[in-house]
Structure 1
Amino acid sequence: MKVDTYTRKLTRLRKVASHVDAHLGESMCLDELAGIAHMSRFHFERVFNEYSGETPVARVRRLRLALARQRIEAGGVGSLLDLAFDSGYNSAEAFSRAFRAAHGLPPSAVRPQAQTPSPIRIEFLQGQAIQYIPFRGQLGCGITPFDELRAHALIAGIPRERRKGWCVQLSGDMNDSGSEVELQAALQSDKLGQHIPGLEQGQLPDGHYAVLRVSGGFGIPAHADLGARIAAETSWKILPDAPLLRCFHNSAYLPAGFERQFDLYVPVAA
Structure 2
Amino acid sequence: MATNIEACARRLKRLRKVANHVDANLDKSLSLDDLADIAHLSRFHFERVFADYSGETPVARVRRLRLEVARRRIEAGQAGSMLDLAFDSGYGSAEAFSRAFSACHGLPPSRVRPKERQPTPIRIERIGSVPIQFVPFKGQLGSSIAPFDELRAHALIAGIPRERRKGWCVQFSGDLGKTAGEVELQAALLSERLGQKVPGLHEGYLPAGDYAVLRVEGSFAAPDEAELACRVEHDTGRRLLAGAPRLRCFNNACYLPADFERQFDLYLPLSA
TM-score (normalised: structure 2): 0.97
Bigger Cα displacement from structure 2, 193-202 vs 248-257: 248-257
Does the alignment pair 1:213 with 2:195? Answer: no
Question: What amino acid is aligned across from residue 22 of structure 1 in structure 2?
Answer: A
Query: Counterpart amino acid of 1:175?
Result: G
- Partner residue, 1:127: 129
Asked if 1:202 is matched to 2:204, the reply is yes
Residue 26 of structure 1 aligns to a residue whose secondary structure is coil
SS of equivalent residue, structure 1 residue 153: helix
Alignment-mate amino acid for residue 184 of structure 2: E
Aligned to 2:100: 98
Instruction: State the partner residue of 1:176.
Output: 178
Partner amino acid for 1:207? G
Identity %: 67
Displacement of 1:153: 0.4
Q: Secondary structure at the match of 1:187?
A: strand
The total of aligned residue pairs comes to 270
Partners of 2:244 and 2:90 in 1: CA distance: 46
Q: Does 1:255 align with 2:262?
A: no
Q: Whole-Å Cα distance in 2 between the matches of residues 73 and 236 of structure 1?
A: 35
- CA shift for structure 1 position 85: 1.2
Whichever residue aligns with residue 52 of structure 2, its letter is E
Alpha-carbon distance in 2 for matches of 1:71, 1:242: 39
Tell me which residue corresponds to 1:79: 81
Match of 2:52 in 1: 50
Q: Which runs of 5+ in 1 are unaligned?
A: none
Shift of 1:202: 0.6
- Please report how far the alpha carbon of residue 15 of structure 1 lies from its aligned counterpart in structure 2 after TM superposition: 0.6
Deviation at 1:223, TM superposition (A): 1.1
Q: Does 1:27 align with 2:29?
A: yes
Match of 2:139 in 1: 137
Equivalent residue, structure 2, for 1:187: 189
Residues of 1 paired with 2:270 and 2:259: CA distance? 28
Q: Please state whether the residue corresponding to 1:238 is helix, strand or coil.
A: coil
Offset from partner CA, 1:79-131 (integer Å, 9 cap, x none): 11111111111111111010001111000101111111100011111110000
Give the Å deviation of 1:251.
2.9
Structure 1 residue 247, shift from structure 2 partner: 0.5
CA distance in 1 between partners of 2:155 and 2:163 (Å): 12
Shift of 1:203: 0.5
Letter in 2 for 1:177: T
Alpha-carbon distance in 2 for matches of 1:41, 1:9: 15
Which letter does structure 2 place at the counterpart of 1:268?
L
Q: Partner letter of residue 264 of structure 1?
A: L
Within 2, Cα distance between the matches of 1:208 and 1:80? Answer: 48
Runs of 4+ in structure 1 off by over 3 angstroms are none
Q: Which amino acid aligns with 2:209?
A: G
Tell me, in whole angstroms, the C-alpha distance in 1 between the residues paired with 2:130 and 2:12: 27
Question: Partners in 2 of 1:74 and 1:180 — Cα distance?
Answer: 37
